[in-house]
Amino acid sequence: MMRPMWIARLLITALAVLAGTTAFAQDQAYRVLETPQATSGEGVEVREFFSYGCPHCHDFEPRLAQWTDVMGDRVTVIHTPVTFGRDSWELLARAYYAAEALGILDNTHQALFEAIHIDGRQFQERSDISAFYASVADVSEADVMDALGAFSVEASLSRAERLVSAFGVPGTPALGIDGRYLIDVRAAGGQTGMLDVAESLVAEEAATR
Protein backbone atom coordinates (compact mmCIF):
# COMPACT_ATOMS: atom_id res chain seq x y z
CA MET A 1 0.00 0.00 0.00
CA MET A 2 1.43 3.38 -0.98
CA ARG A 3 2.01 5.96 1.72
CA PRO A 4 0.07 9.23 1.43
CA MET A 5 2.03 11.90 -0.42
CA TRP A 6 2.34 14.10 2.67
CA ILE A 7 4.07 11.32 4.55
CA ALA A 8 6.56 10.84 1.72
CA ARG A 9 7.32 14.54 1.67
CA LEU A 10 7.78 14.56 5.44
CA LEU A 11 10.27 11.70 5.20
CA ILE A 12 12.24 13.48 2.45
CA THR A 13 12.42 16.66 4.52
CA ALA A 14 13.53 14.77 7.63
CA LEU A 15 16.32 13.01 5.74
CA ALA A 16 17.51 16.30 4.27
CA VAL A 17 17.64 17.91 7.72
CA LEU A 18 19.73 15.04 8.99
CA ALA A 19 22.09 15.63 6.07
CA GLY A 20 22.67 19.20 7.23
CA THR A 21 20.26 21.28 5.17
CA THR A 22 16.52 21.47 4.59
CA ALA A 23 15.06 20.11 1.39
CA PHE A 24 13.90 22.28 -1.48
CA ALA A 25 10.27 23.12 -0.73
CA GLN A 26 7.65 22.35 -3.34
CA ASP A 27 6.89 26.04 -3.85
CA GLN A 28 10.42 27.34 -3.37
CA ALA A 29 13.50 27.18 -5.54
CA TYR A 30 15.95 27.50 -2.70
CA ARG A 31 17.30 25.57 0.26
CA VAL A 32 17.63 27.01 3.74
CA LEU A 33 20.94 26.19 5.38
CA GLU A 34 20.73 24.65 8.81
CA THR A 35 23.97 26.40 9.78
CA PRO A 36 24.23 29.96 8.37
CA GLN A 37 27.64 30.96 7.02
CA ALA A 38 29.55 34.16 7.72
CA THR A 39 29.16 36.85 5.07
CA SER A 40 31.11 39.91 3.96
CA GLY A 41 30.45 43.18 2.19
CA GLU A 42 28.03 46.02 2.77
CA GLY A 43 25.33 44.67 0.45
CA VAL A 44 23.54 41.35 0.81
CA GLU A 45 26.12 38.72 -0.07
CA VAL A 46 25.43 36.80 -3.28
CA ARG A 47 27.93 33.97 -3.68
CA GLU A 48 28.16 32.39 -7.11
CA PHE A 49 29.42 28.81 -7.18
CA PHE A 50 30.91 28.20 -10.61
CA SER A 51 33.67 26.60 -12.66
CA TYR A 52 35.42 27.90 -15.73
CA GLY A 53 35.05 24.36 -17.06
CA CYS A 54 31.23 24.47 -16.82
CA PRO A 55 29.51 25.50 -20.09
CA HIS A 56 26.40 26.57 -18.18
CA CYS A 57 28.54 28.90 -16.06
CA HIS A 58 29.94 30.40 -19.24
CA ASP A 59 26.38 31.09 -20.41
CA PHE A 60 25.43 32.46 -16.99
CA GLU A 61 28.36 34.85 -16.61
CA PRO A 62 27.00 37.74 -18.76
CA ARG A 63 23.56 37.35 -17.17
CA LEU A 64 25.06 37.57 -13.70
CA ALA A 65 27.23 40.55 -14.65
CA GLN A 66 24.23 42.45 -16.02
CA TRP A 67 22.13 41.56 -12.96
CA THR A 68 24.94 42.71 -10.66
CA ASP A 69 25.07 46.07 -12.41
CA VAL A 70 21.32 46.51 -12.02
CA MET A 71 21.35 45.50 -8.33
CA GLY A 72 24.19 47.90 -7.56
CA ASP A 73 25.02 48.50 -3.90
CA ARG A 74 22.22 46.22 -2.74
CA VAL A 75 24.45 43.19 -3.28
CA THR A 76 28.03 42.07 -2.77
CA VAL A 77 28.76 39.40 -5.38
CA ILE A 78 31.50 36.89 -4.59
CA HIS A 79 32.64 34.25 -7.08
CA THR A 80 33.51 30.87 -5.57
CA PRO A 81 35.06 28.30 -7.92
CA VAL A 82 34.21 24.65 -7.27
CA THR A 83 36.12 21.49 -8.14
CA PHE A 84 33.76 18.60 -7.34
CA GLY A 85 36.92 16.51 -7.05
CA ARG A 86 37.97 16.98 -10.67
CA ASP A 87 41.66 17.67 -11.28
CA SER A 88 40.93 19.85 -14.31
CA TRP A 89 38.48 21.98 -12.31
CA GLU A 90 40.95 22.22 -9.43
CA LEU A 91 43.47 23.84 -11.76
CA LEU A 92 40.83 26.30 -12.98
CA ALA A 93 39.77 27.11 -9.42
CA ARG A 94 43.42 27.71 -8.56
CA ALA A 95 43.67 29.96 -11.62
CA TYR A 96 40.78 32.08 -10.34
CA TYR A 97 42.38 32.68 -6.95
CA ALA A 98 45.80 33.30 -8.52
CA ALA A 99 44.27 36.02 -10.72
CA GLU A 100 42.54 37.48 -7.68
CA ALA A 101 45.82 37.54 -5.75
CA LEU A 102 47.57 39.25 -8.69
CA GLY A 103 44.78 41.80 -9.13
CA ILE A 104 44.13 40.84 -12.75
CA LEU A 105 40.64 39.32 -12.57
CA ASP A 106 39.20 42.11 -14.73
CA ASN A 107 41.52 40.92 -17.50
CA THR A 108 41.30 37.17 -17.00
CA HIS A 109 37.82 36.23 -15.78
CA GLN A 110 35.79 36.51 -18.96
CA ALA A 111 38.86 35.82 -21.09
CA LEU A 112 39.37 32.39 -19.52
CA PHE A 113 35.72 31.48 -20.03
CA GLU A 114 35.97 32.44 -23.69
CA ALA A 115 39.27 30.66 -24.23
CA ILE A 116 37.73 27.40 -23.02
CA HIS A 117 34.20 27.57 -24.42
CA ILE A 118 34.64 29.64 -27.58
CA ASP A 119 38.23 29.00 -28.63
CA GLY A 120 38.29 25.39 -27.44
CA ARG A 121 41.53 25.76 -25.50
CA GLN A 122 42.48 23.21 -22.88
CA PHE A 123 44.37 24.04 -19.70
CA GLN A 124 46.02 20.97 -18.25
CA GLU A 125 49.12 22.35 -16.54
CA ARG A 126 49.92 25.39 -14.45
CA SER A 127 52.23 26.51 -17.23
CA ASP A 128 49.21 26.67 -19.56
CA ILE A 129 47.52 29.09 -17.17
CA SER A 130 50.63 31.21 -16.67
CA ALA A 131 51.21 31.57 -20.42
CA PHE A 132 47.58 32.51 -21.01
CA TYR A 133 47.46 35.06 -18.20
CA ALA A 134 50.67 36.66 -19.44
CA SER A 135 49.03 37.04 -22.85
CA VAL A 136 45.90 38.83 -21.58
CA ALA A 137 47.19 40.79 -18.58
CA ASP A 138 50.21 42.85 -17.59
CA VAL A 139 51.86 40.07 -15.63
CA SER A 140 54.79 37.73 -16.15
CA GLU A 141 54.51 33.97 -16.43
CA ALA A 142 56.87 33.65 -13.45
CA ASP A 143 54.60 35.79 -11.26
CA VAL A 144 51.59 33.70 -12.27
CA MET A 145 53.41 30.47 -11.46
CA ASP A 146 54.35 31.84 -8.05
CA ALA A 147 50.74 32.86 -7.40
CA LEU A 148 49.37 29.49 -8.47
CA GLY A 149 51.43 27.82 -5.75
CA ALA A 150 51.07 30.50 -3.10
CA PHE A 151 49.88 29.66 0.41
CA SER A 152 47.10 32.25 0.14
CA VAL A 153 45.74 30.50 -2.94
CA GLU A 154 45.88 27.13 -1.18
CA ALA A 155 43.97 28.66 1.74
CA SER A 156 41.35 30.12 -0.60
CA LEU A 157 40.88 26.75 -2.29
CA SER A 158 40.40 25.03 1.05
CA ARG A 159 37.86 27.63 2.16
CA ALA A 160 35.98 27.29 -1.11
CA GLU A 161 35.73 23.53 -0.62
CA ARG A 162 34.36 24.05 2.88
CA LEU A 163 31.76 26.48 1.56
CA VAL A 164 30.67 24.11 -1.20
CA SER A 165 30.10 21.47 1.48
CA ALA A 166 28.39 23.87 3.90
CA PHE A 167 25.98 25.14 1.24
CA GLY A 168 25.39 21.65 -0.15
CA VAL A 169 26.04 22.78 -3.71
CA PRO A 170 24.60 20.12 -6.08
CA GLY A 171 25.86 21.57 -9.35
CA THR A 172 26.86 24.74 -11.14
CA PRO A 173 25.98 27.49 -11.48
CA ALA A 174 24.36 27.98 -8.08
CA LEU A 175 23.86 31.01 -5.85
CA GLY A 176 24.25 31.37 -2.09
CA ILE A 177 22.32 34.29 -0.60
CA ASP A 178 23.36 36.01 2.63
CA GLY A 179 25.02 32.84 3.91
CA ARG A 180 21.56 31.38 4.56
CA TYR A 181 20.09 30.17 1.29
CA LEU A 182 21.23 28.09 -1.68
CA ILE A 183 19.47 28.52 -5.03
CA ASP A 184 19.84 25.62 -7.46
CA VAL A 185 19.42 26.48 -11.13
CA ARG A 186 17.28 23.41 -11.83
CA ALA A 187 14.95 23.97 -8.91
CA ALA A 188 14.60 27.62 -9.95
CA GLY A 189 13.59 26.65 -13.47
CA GLY A 190 16.66 28.02 -15.23
CA GLN A 191 19.16 30.82 -15.03
CA THR A 192 16.64 33.65 -15.31
CA GLY A 193 14.52 32.05 -12.62
CA MET A 194 17.55 31.69 -10.38
CA LEU A 195 18.26 35.41 -10.62
CA ASP A 196 14.59 36.24 -10.00
CA VAL A 197 14.64 34.15 -6.83
CA ALA A 198 17.94 35.77 -5.81
CA GLU A 199 16.48 39.25 -6.22
CA SER A 200 13.49 38.30 -4.09
CA LEU A 201 15.67 36.88 -1.30
CA VAL A 202 18.00 39.89 -1.43
CA ALA A 203 15.00 42.17 -0.96
CA GLU A 204 13.79 40.11 2.01
CA GLU A 205 17.19 40.12 3.68
CA ALA A 206 17.78 43.81 3.01
CA ALA A 207 14.45 44.65 4.64
CA THR A 208 15.54 43.03 7.91
CA ARG A 209 18.75 45.08 8.24
**Model-level pTM?**
0.86
Write the DSSP assignment of 90-123 as a string of letters: HHHHHHHHHHHHHT-HHHHHHHHHHHHHTS----
- Amino acid 28: pLDDT: 75
> What is the rounded CA–CA span in Å between residue 31 and residue 201?
12
Q: Write out the chain's pLDDT in tens, 209 residues.
A: 333 433 333 333 333 333 334 444 445 789 999 999 999 999 999 999 999 999 999 999 999 999 999 999 999 999 999 999 999 999 999 999 999 999 999 999 999 999 999 999 999 999 999 999 999 999 999 999 999 999 999 999 999 999 999 999 999 999 999 999 999 999 999 999 999 999 999 999 999 88
Instruction: Dump strand ranges (E) for 14-170.
Output: 30-32, 44-50, 75-81
Q: Tell me which H or E stretch contains 168.
A: none
CB atoms within 10 A of CB 135: 12
Q: Which domains does the chain have, with CATH numbers?
A: 24-207 (3.40.30.10)
> Rounded distance, CA 16 to CA 39, Å?
24
pLDDT for position 27: 53
How many C-beta atoms surround the C-beta of residue 120 within 10 A? 7
Determine the residue type at 25.
A
pLDDT value at residue 62: 97
| The predicted structure's pLDDT at residue 14 | 36
